[in-house]
A and B are shown apart, each in its own frame.
Chain A
Amino acid sequence: MLALRCFMDRPDGWGRNQGREVYQRLLRFVEDNPGRLIFRISFKEVQRLDISFASEAIVELAKRFRRTKGFCLIDLSDKDLIENVDAAAERKEQPILVWHGKSAELIGAKPSEGTREAFQFAVTRPHTRATEFATEKGISIANASMKFKQLWEGGFLLRQESVADSGGVEYVYLRIG
């Protein structure tokens, strides 16, 4: 867990410059934790933040580590705050999951029509493989693999290499959070 408030000077995040300062601090924290794949950013005690701040600090971080590390948001229920992060993430075409307990709300970029179902499938389990989705939907493994690859490239999922039963490389896809 990463408490955003600890990286901010004040409970309000206002403007691009402040956002950039906070980004640098967050970046250092992420770099100091090279083994961690997923960072849950807690909004506890963060009162407000504007769109420009969210864009520079949070969305930029998620974008920079797209495909390699994942960032999701927790302790965030204020509609206005969510709306501001959403506007910033949408502009940078970065998807971000906001976790409310066990349910996830996707803000920012949305999956394409063709990958939406695969995303829904993946987000309801901690990790999955293309073969599982292919079996569930009755589609080819190649088709399912392509969908998951697109989701990984778009920043919706993470993936790790694993060894398939056949001995070849197979990817395990991880939801973010």
Chain B
Amino acid sequence: MFGVTFEFPLGCKVMVDAAIRLLSLANQLVVTTRRVRLVFAEGEAGTMGYLNRMGFFDHLRSEVEVRPARPIYSAAELHRGGNQTLVEIARINKDARDQDLPTRLTAAVMRSCGRRPDARELEGAAWTIFAELIDNIFVHSRTRLDGYAALQVYSGGNRLSVAVSDSGLGIMETLRPSLATEFPKLAHLSDTDLLVEVFRLGLSRHGADRGCGLKGCAGKAMKFNADLDVRLPNQRVLLTPARGTYRPNTAHCYENLPLMWGTHIAFAFGLGA
């Protein structure tokens, strides 16, 4: 049987966006009959404890082997809502749409950032970003696997990471086939350039009067100078804002990455004092 092992050596730190991507990937591999093993060198004292705190193991399929051992109890359940900066991983299940999810995630942002002078603007931006990204999963992803959303405020409130991950059809799989009829001028673009246009112009397989959701998210994130990180099945594209928008010439693309289904989007807001 084909097996995959993820090792977390001493001192290894995992950011929240990486954590939910890892969760999605591990669950995808199990569903496609791979044997998956996570090995934490520091045990619960290290990364494993952090992941447990955010509910990682509550969502990790039971077939995944964890070493030294799965946590006995879920720290997320134990501390629910008690931590100011870390929010538990939220499950996005198509059959049980949680109508409060964007509001709850936004409330978590506000617990850490509510005293900022621009708190109201940040609150509106965060809610819209969660609402649009999560709704996209419901509308586009066509998968039985759950998606996930999570956020964390880092370094004394100066950085906010917002991540949404789904294991369904990737954004390119849904968009590419429609280009010839809907946006013929864009059909020749590389995946990286096309992704920039998805966030810059707003593109949708449903035609020219749709696609404003992701563009709107980018517009909101831009106000906070947010970097955008998108993982596609074989690529990862990093977009940094330049002159009020995302541009192809400031996009970095990592190609030929290991296969990972779906679309995984993370915004990193710079909230410098």
Residues on A with C-beta less than 8 A from B58 are: none
Q: Which residues of the other chain, A, contact B139 by a CB distance below 8 angstroms?
A: 15-17
The distance in angstroms between the C-alpha atoms of A81 and B124, with both chains bound, is 8
Q: Does B264 contact A (CB under 8 A)?
A: no
Contact in complex: A10, B99 (CB < 8 Å): yes
Is the C-beta of A118 less than 8 angstroms from some C-beta in chain B? no
Cα–Cα, bound, A12→B215 (Å): 20
Q: Is B271 an interface residue (CB 8 A)?
A: no
Give the interface segment out of B171-179, B182-190, B205-213. B205-213
Given the interface pairs A10-B99, A14-B99, the reply to whether A87 lies near B124 with Cβ below 8 Å is no
- Docked-complex contact A91 and B202, CB < 8 angstroms: yes
Check A51/B128 contact, CB under 8 A, given A87-B215, A91-B209: yes
Residue numbers in B under 8 Å from A16 (CB-CB): 135, 139
Considering the chains assembled together, what is the distance between the CA atoms of A52 and B131 in angstroms? 9
Decide yes or no whether B127 CB sits under 8 A from chain A: yes
The answer to whether B103 and A12 touch across the interface, beta carbons within 8 angstroms, is yes
Chain A residues at the B interface, C-beta cutoff of 8 Å: 10, 12, 14-17, 48, 50-53, 55, 78-81, 83-84, 87-88, 90-93
Taking the nearest CB of chain A, how far is it from the CB of B225, in angstroms? Answer: 17
A101, B131: Cα distance in complex, Å: 30
Q: Does B170 contact A (CB under 8 A)?
A: no
A15 interface neighbour in B138, B215, B216, Cβ under 8 Å: B138
A134 to chain B, nearest CB (A): 35
> Residues of A contacting B209 with CB < 8 Å?
91-93
Tell me which residues across on chain B come within 8 A of A53, comparing CB atoms. Answer: 131
Contact among A50, A78, A81, A88 for B131, CB-based, below 8 A: A50
Cβ contact within 8 Å between A80 and B128 = yes
Q: List 9 A-B contacts (CB under 8 A).
A: A14-B99, A14-B135, A15-B138, A16-B139, A17-B138, A50-B131, A50-B132, A51-B132, A80-B128
**Which residues on the A side are within 8 Å of B213 (C-beta)?**
50-52
* Cα–Cα distance between A174 and B210 once the two chains are bound (Å): 30
- Decide yes or no whether B219 CB sits under 8 A from chain A: yes
Q: Are A78 and B212 in contact (CB-based, < 8 A)? A: no
Q: When chains A and B are docked, how far (Å) is the Cα of A50 from the Cα of B211?
A: 13
